[in-house]
Amino acid sequence: MGQTFSLGRLAGIRIGVNWSVLVILALLTLGLAEGRLPEAHPGDPGWLYWAVGLVTAAAFLLSLLAHEISHALVARRHGVEADSITLWLLGGVARLRSEAPDPRAELRIAGSGPLVSLVLGAVFAGLAALIRAAAGPGLAAEAVAWLAGINILLALFNVLPAAPLDGGRLLRAAVWRRTGDPVRATVVASAAGRVLGWSLVALGLYLVLLGAGFGGIWLVLIGWFLVAAATVEGGQARLRELLSGVSVREAMSPDPVTAPASATVEDFLESPAFRYRHSAFPVVGDDGAPAGLVTLHDARAVPAAARATTRLAEVMLPLEEIPTAAPGDPLARSCPLSRPPPPAARSSWRTAGWPASSPPPTSAGSPPG
């Protein structure tokens, strides 16, 4: 899922959101404003429920962002750079450039997210208690208590030992440490992810038959996503195993067709030299050194009237934003096989924390708070 809106950079990491986050923000706000808040404290104006619900839902998204940032920062401490963090319909994705170097690093990277969510839950719980002590029960205390419950449930769901959740990463670290085989560890974690996913699908279908409606459908969606992500991850692990011992040199094209950065988009699209069955071409500078990569899609996106004056250097993807490899590097570590949604499909809305009485999906267990 790509970034629809960019929120800038935090600690050098690009932060963005997919448009689907607006759907979740709306559902959370609706569930709080029409469900939990008026049921817990009836008699307040409707606009107040909606205002508190919106602020609370936004605070939860910030909590989720903190969860993902912790993964990225701990990964950086272990030599694994993070490109970006994107919030989307089913949670957050922290895109890491490579795998953890060893089981201990994997354990720390994976465990940091649930730990942050647990700490946030404790902080919100303490804040809710202080608000109740100072001002008595009210909407503010109820909203903060909801944030405490959903963060704690987020942490607990995350540590279930199944990929691609954080718990799957913890399981992978344990198996990797025990066997010394990261590929086998990934296969074990992905198998556990498929079991959990199908279990959620079955539970969701059962709830639909009982009349749970959207809540059951939501569980089916979460389960299906886990199954798909775990299956992809397991397949990639097996592919890495097959590619072990193969170098980039053995798979690369020694003399690829390149496009000069100074060429116009019009020349690039119309020249017979680039009429190959390729969707992208390396771009080189005047000195012949690699400068970036240009895709046919990006070139064709340039308006026809501007193609004659637009250089490839203006539409290409810069070299620093492209994963690169040396001819002698292992192919298994150089091709784009890193975690499908890297450690982060883990932050899917965890089926935890939806107000049980509201139209949006209910939690897998009981509502927090």
> Looking at the predicted structure, is the pLDDT value of residue 55 above 70?
yes
Mean pLDDT of 40-51: 92
Q: Tell whether the torsion through CA atoms of 227, 228, 230 and 231 is positive or negative.
A: positive
pLDDT digits (tens, 9 = 90+) for 317-352: 998 888 788 888 877 665 544 333 333 333 333 222
Check residue 336 and report its DSSP letter: S
pLDDT digits (tens, 9 = 90+) for 126-171: 999 999 999 888 899 999 999 999 999 999 999 999 888 999 999 9
pLDDT at 126: 96
Mean pLDDT of 57-66: 94
The reply to whether 270 belongs to the active site is no
Contact 175, 184 (CB under 8 A): yes
Long-range Cβ contacts of 102-106 (<8 Å, 24+ apart): 103/173, 103/174, 103/176, 103/177, 104/173, 104/177, 105/75, 105/78, 105/79, 105/80, 106/169, 106/172, 106/173, 106/176
pLDDT digits (tens, 9 = 90+) for 236-254: 777 877 777 788 888 888 8
Nearest to 85 by CA among 73, 99, 102: 73
pLDDT digits (tens, 9 = 90+) for 189-232: 999 999 999 999 999 999 989 887 777 888 898 899 899 988 98
pLDDT at 242: 77
> Looking at the predicted structure, is the pLDDT value of residue 273 above 90?
no
Q: Determine which helix (DSSP H) or strand (DSSP E) holds 16, and give its type and residue range.
A: strand 13-17
> Looking at the predicted structure, is the pLDDT value of residue 360 above 60?
no
> Looking at the predicted structure, is the pLDDT value of residue 363 above 80?
no
> Looking at the predicted structure, is the pLDDT value of residue 367 above 60?
no
pTM given for the model: 0.71
Q: Which of 34, 68, 99, 106 is catalytic?
A: 68
Question: Helices 46-77 and 103-135: crossing angle, nearest 10°?
Answer: 150
Start-to-end CA distance of the chain, whole Å, equals: 31
Nearest to 163 by CA among 151, 173, 153, 178: 173
pLDDT digits (tens, 9 = 90+) for 99-135: 888 999 999 999 999 999 999 999 999 999 999 999 8
Domain spanning 253-321: CATH superfamily: CBS-domain (3.10.580.10)
Q: Tell whether the torsion through CA atoms of 70, 339, 76 and 110 is positive or negative.
A: positive
Range of weakest confidence among 91-95, 189-193, 360-364:
360-364
Supply the DSSP string of 273-335, one letter for each residue.
GG-SS-SEEEEE-TTS-EEEEEEHHHHHTS-GGGTTT-BHHHHSEEGGGS----TTSBHHHHS
Nearest to 107 by CA among 62, 151, 77, 148: 77
- Report residue 272's pLDDT band, with 50, 70 and 90 as the boundaries: confident
Residue spans in the chain of domains classed CATH 3.10.580.10: 253-321
Supply the DSSP string of 112-167, one letter for each residue.
HHHHHHHHHHHHHHHHHHHHHHHH-S-HHHHHHHHHHHHHHHHHHHHTSS-TTSHH
